[in-house]
């Protein structure tokens, strides 16, 4: 302790990973570079969204609406909930942080499956709460029985990420119903549906209906993936009124810019156009999974805009050998590789490379 630099940091800071910015993909041998490492939407903004935010830019000398009034109303209408049940934030990561700050502090436990979304442990640690990471099953699914068994009197929040990042699988409605029957209602269960628009499995959980049927369930959604607004930072929570109110209180004041609010509102108005693009992503995913399977890879079915290759010890070998193809993918050393369903050309290049990798 004595040799730590002064002024001193909170104890929890030592546990936080140092942020590593995603590697920029360089073009190699004249090959165009593709970034398939962050689950972004490869489509450019809709013309209508671009026009609206250009107009909104004329007002950047003003603070935005701190309560995202118009957006909150649009979200409430879309899901047939009251505006009191909605809270917005700077991306659903921002909302996730607001939730934990409102609910869990020192001595409290925040539970999630692992591996899952990397923000959960970081945000929990920053809040000074205790991380309870329950391993996924060997097929990459949430082990809800093990999660139930890990509940203690200190558990305050449980995140259920479905489809799960990075493994791509879903939790079924039947599984979550059984789970919720046994979770004490004092615990908030947050269903993180960042990728829900890409799901095609009819057995998957309906987060909003589940939220409506319980007093201790909330849903997290984002405009970053299916709606293609990752760079603008807008996400939201729908859940019990007193929780939504608390989540609004812990938000960074004026965090969601007027440009972001405008883009989100216009995106909701143009959902049909956006969802055509989602269909294209799903078709591409089906093709990509099929090609990889033909090559002999075993991969869990994905319901998201990425696929998971559980390569285990061969993960780094795969990533190192793929460096010449100018496509950024996301390695989790010792576990696997996550590949976003972005530009088709990038995915085709991976298939070509993967043929050599297996042979
Ligand atoms: C991408 C992602 C989010 C959304 O992040 P934003 O902050 O809204 O960009 C939330 N949860 C999971 C699991 C994600 O993968």
Whether 4 shows a pLDDT value over 90: the answer reads no
Residues contacting residue 285 through CB under 8 Å, at least 6 positions apart: 198, 302, 305, 307, 341
Name the band, by pLDDT with cuts 50, 70 and 90, for residue 328. Answer: very high
Q: Which CATH architecture best describes the domain 19-45+272-357?
A: Alpha-Beta Complex (3.90)
Whether 2 shows a pLDDT value over 60: the answer reads no
86 pairs with which residues across the strands? Answer: 238
Name the band, by pLDDT with cuts 50, 70 and 90, for residue 205. Answer: very high
Look up residue 155 and give its two tokens.
């558990």
Q: Where are the domains of the chain?
A: 19-45+272-357, 47-269
Whether 1 shows a pLDDT value over 90: the answer reads no
Q: What is the distance, to the nearest Å, from the Cα of residue 359 to the centroid of all Cα atoms in its chain? A: 34
Q: How far away, in angstroms, is 165 Cα from ligand 1 center?
A: 9
Lowest mean pLDDT among 22-36, 84-98, 300-314: 22-36
Atom number, ligand 1, closest to the C-alpha of residue 117? 13
Q: Is 117 in the pocket of ligand 1 (CB under 6 A)?
A: yes
Which pLDDT belongs to residue 358? Answer: 86
Look up residue 332 and give its two tokens.
């989790």
Whether 105 shows a pLDDT value over 80: the answer reads yes
Whether 271 shows a pLDDT value over 80: the answer reads yes
Ligand 1 mutation pick, 91, 100, 171, max ligand atoms within 8 A of CB: 91
Q: Is 224 in the pocket of ligand 1 (CB under 6 A)?
A: yes
Look up residue 188 and give its two tokens.
């908030």
Q: Is 89 in the pocket of ligand 1 (CB under 6 A)?
A: no
pLDDT tens digits, residue range 26-68?
788 889 999 999 999 999 999 999 999 999 999 999 999 999 9
pLDDT tens digits, residue range 222-270?
999 999 999 999 999 999 999 999 999 999 999 999 999 999 999 999 9
Q: Is 194 in the pocket of ligand 1 (CB under 6 A)?
A: yes
Which pLDDT belongs to residue 28? Answer: 85
Same fold, 19-45+272-357 and 47-269: no
CATH code for residues 47-269: 3.40.640.10
Which pLDDT belongs to residue 3? Answer: 73
Q: How far away, in angstroms, is 4 Cα from ligand 1 center?
A: 34
Which pLDDT belongs to residue 21? Answer: 63
Global pTM reads 0.96
Which pLDDT belongs to residue 256? Answer: 98
Residue 261 to residue 23: CA distance in whole angstroms: 29
Could you identify the residue written with the tokens 């929040």? 157
- Whether the CB-CB separation of 221 and 193 falls below 8 Å is answered with yes
Which pLDDT belongs to residue 29? Answer: 83
Residue 337 to residue 322: CA distance in whole angstroms: 11
146 pairs with which residues across the strands? Answer: none
Atom number, ligand 1, closest to the C-alpha of residue 38? 1
Q: How far away, in angstroms, is 236 Cα from ligand 1 center?
A: 11
Average pLDDT, the chain: 96
Inter-residue long-range contacts of 48-56, CB under 8 Å, 24+ positions, other chains counted: 48/266, 48/269, 48/270, 48/273, 49/229, 49/263, 49/266, 49/267, 49/270, 52/262, 52/263, 52/265, 52/266, 53/232, 53/259, 53/262, 53/263, 53/266, 55/262, 56/258, 56/259, 56/261, 56/262, 56/263
């Amino acid at each position: 302790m004595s040799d730590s630099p002064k002024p001193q940091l909170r104890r929890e800071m030592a546990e936080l990973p140092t942020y590593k910015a995603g590697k920029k993909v360089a073009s190699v041998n004249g090959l165009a570079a593709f970034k398939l490492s962050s689950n972004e939407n490869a489509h450019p903004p809709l013309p209508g969204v671009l026009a609206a935010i250009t107009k909104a830019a004329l007002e950047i000398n003003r603070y935005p609406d701190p309560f995202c009034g118009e957006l909150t109303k649009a979200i409430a209408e879309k899901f047939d909930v009251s505006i009191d049940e909605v809270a917005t934030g700077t991306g659903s990561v921002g909302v996730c942080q607001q939730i934990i700050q409102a609910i869990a502090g020192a001595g409290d436990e925040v539970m999630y499956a692992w591996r899952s979304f990397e923000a959960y442990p970081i945000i929990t640690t920053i809040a000074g709460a205790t991380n309870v990471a329950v391993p996924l099953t060997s097929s990459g699914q949430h082990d809800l029985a093990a999660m139930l068994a890990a509940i203690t009197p200190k558990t305050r929040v449980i995140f259920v990420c479905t489809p799960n990042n990075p493994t791509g699988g879903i939790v079924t409605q039947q599984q979550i119903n059984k789970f919720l029957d046994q979770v004490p209602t004092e615990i908030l269960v947050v269903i993180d549906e960042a990728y829900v628009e890409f799901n095609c499995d009819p057995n998957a959980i309906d987060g909003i209906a589940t939220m409506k049927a319980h007093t201790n369930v909330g849903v997290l959604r984002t405009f970053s993936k299916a709606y293609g607004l990752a760079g603008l930072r807008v996400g939201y929570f729908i859940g019990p009124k007193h929780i939504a109110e608390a989540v609004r209180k812990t938000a960074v004041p004026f965090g969601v810019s007027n440009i972001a609010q405008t883009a989100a509102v216009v995106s909701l108005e143009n959902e049909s156009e956006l969802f055509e693009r989602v269909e294209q992503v799903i078709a591409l995913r089906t093709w990509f999974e099929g090609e990889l399977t033909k090559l002999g890879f075993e991969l869990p079915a994905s319901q998201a805009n990425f696929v998971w290759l559980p390569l285990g010890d061969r993960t780094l070998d795969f990533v190192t050998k793929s460096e010449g193809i100018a496509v950024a993918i996301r390695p989790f050393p010792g576990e696997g590789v996550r590949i976003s369903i972005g530009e088709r050309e990038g995915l085709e290049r991976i298939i070509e490379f993967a043929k050599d990798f297996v042979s």
